[in-house]
Structure 1
Amino acid sequence: MKSTSSFFFYIVFAIIVLFETLLANWLNLDWIHYISKPLVVISLILFYKKHSKLLNTNIRILTILALVFSLFGDVLLLYVNHSQYFFISGLIAFLIAHIFYCLVFLKHRNKSKSPYGFIALLLVYALGLFWLLKSGLNNLLIPVILYMFVILAMATFAYLRHGKVNVQSYNLVFYGALVFMISDSLLALNKFYLSLPFADFSIMFTYALAQLLIVKGLLSQDKEETL
């Protein structure tokens, strides 16, 4: 029954992402985004709530909060063409969502695993990205730097779950965090550096995939790992 329910969810989720990433753009129907974009995370919230009842209460609440603030961010970014304040507000909402994900991942931090090599790789990536973006950031310089720091922390904490959770949970969450970084990088490049081809598709597809991987990874934790 659980596998059937999950399969049905994946079909529905794929349809929602298809509408958001392709059909709305191909048909030039912008109003679809106001429905399909929030539905991406709303569907994940409902799926997670249904299948996370055996997880630790704190982990469950923190994950739902991360998804809820992601939803706030999605809605706010729908209105960026009206005012820059919507972008800033959306940035803050996603920053909070990443902080909640950090707290979730820290619940299973492997204290014996050194993060320094991984952090060095992330910093090289972040500095290269920042070098491309810096001239276009203007008054958003500090907020973007802060946001970059938080998402790098999220990826690091996902990395540090190694050895404390099962392999499937670790891989899904870790790859989800990395794909989230890619999605945010594409968004930043498209907004502050140059217009990317197929930007709407690539940003939203990687974002939806990242959220799905993280949610699925957290649900894949063994029961004893969540106590």
Structure 2
Amino acid sequence: MLNKSEISFSFVFSIIVMAELICGSVESLSTYHYFTKPSILISLIFFFWKHAQHLDAKTKWLTLLALLFSLLGDVFLMFVNASANYFISGLLAFLLAHIMYVLVFLRKKKNSKKVLPFTALLLIYAATLFYFLKAGLGDLLIPVIVYMGIILLMAITAFLRQGNVTKNSFILVFLGALFFITSDSLLALNKFYEPLPFSNISIMLTYSIAQLFIVFGLLKQS
């Protein structure tokens, strides 16, 4: 499923993620967190750039934009304790990242009636999540609803790639989209509902897996 370069990178990537989980959890190492967290996306950007020469130009540049907006979002979210504006900026950056991914996934879209049950499941999930979040959203009600809609669209367009790309590519990208939804759901519950135990670990772990799977999947689509 993974080639040698992907296996080697996965090992390095795991070390970077582990370093971030430790530095983001241990108070005495928190200074290093400002280096380890951006390193996750920076490493992915370099890996994708190096191995994406076989992809068409639009797919390559849209994916790079998605990764760059994600990196920007990561940076903004590191400073949320300083100002609420950083959270809004981070939300906007990730919104743009998801839009870029939607555009990438649509390039390999295959119309299928199978998407209707999946879409229904996603909407039920989103409605349930929103039920828990709505009381704590305040002025962010509309931005969060818009964000939820875009990330659901990202998952739907990932699903629509089935049958139009290699099996490995579909599975990796689709799983990546689901991990992204999981990560964002944990972040939302932790911020707007109630603090979750070990939230920094669960959020970053699922987020890192999501980005890694999507990158690997896109590299295997042709």
Distance 1:95 1:15 in 2: 28
Structure 1 residue 105 displacement after superposition: 0.3
Identity, in percent, stands at 54
Distance 1:3 1:186 in 2: 31
Contact 1:70 1:94 in 2 (8 A): yes
Cα deviation, 1:82-113, whole Å, max 9, x if unaligned, reads: 00000000000000000000000000111244
Distance 1:6 1:120 in 2: 34
Contact 1:190 1:196 in 2 (8 A): yes
Q: Relative to 1, partners in 2 of residues 1:65 and 1:117: Cα closer, same or farther, differing over 3 Å?
A: same
Contact 2:180 2:210 in 1 (8 A): yes
Within-5 A mapping of 1:18-167: 18-26=18-26, 28-167=28-167
Contact 1:13 1:43 in 2 (8 A): yes
Contact 1:113 1:160 in 2 (8 A): no
Amino acid at match of 1:101: Y
Distance 1:196 1:55 in 2: 40
Q: Relative to 1, partners in 2 of residues 1:60 and 1:113: Cα closer, same or farther, differing over 3 Å?
A: farther
Q: Relative to 1, partners in 2 of residues 1:10 and 1:81: Cα closer, same or farther, differing over 3 Å?
A: same
Stretch moving more, 213-222 or 86-95: 213-222
Classify the secondary structure of the residue corresponding to 2:95. Answer: helix
Which residue number in structure 2 is paired with residue 8 of structure 1? 8
Q: Relative to 1, partners in 2 of residues 1:36 and 1:132: Cα closer, same or farther, differing over 3 Å?
A: same
The count of residues paired between Structure 1 and Structure 2 equals 221
Contact 2:23 2:33 in 1 (8 A): no
Within-5 A mapping of 1:162-181: 162-181=162-181
Amino acid at match of 1:85: N
Classify the secondary structure of the residue corresponding to 2:111. Answer: coil
Amino acid at match of 1:73: G
Q: Relative to 1, partners in 2 of residues 1:186 and 1:54: Cα closer, same or farther, differing over 3 Å?
A: same
Stretch moving more, 202-211 or 11-20: 11-20
Q: Which runs of 4+ in 1 moved over 6 A?
A: none
Which residue number in structure 2 is paired with residue 200 of structure 1? 200
Structure 2: gaps (5+ residues)? none
Amino acid at match of 2:172: L
Stretch moving more, 155-164 or 23-32: 23-32
CA RMSD of aligned residues (A): 1.3
Distance 1:19 1:132 in 2: 32
Q: Relative to 1, partners in 2 of residues 1:27 and 1:81: Cα closer, same or farther, differing over 3 Å?
A: closer
Classify the secondary structure of the residue corresponding to 2:25. Answer: helix
Distance 1:205 1:213 in 2: 12
Structure 1 residue 6 displacement after superposition: 3.0
TM-score (norm 2): 0.96
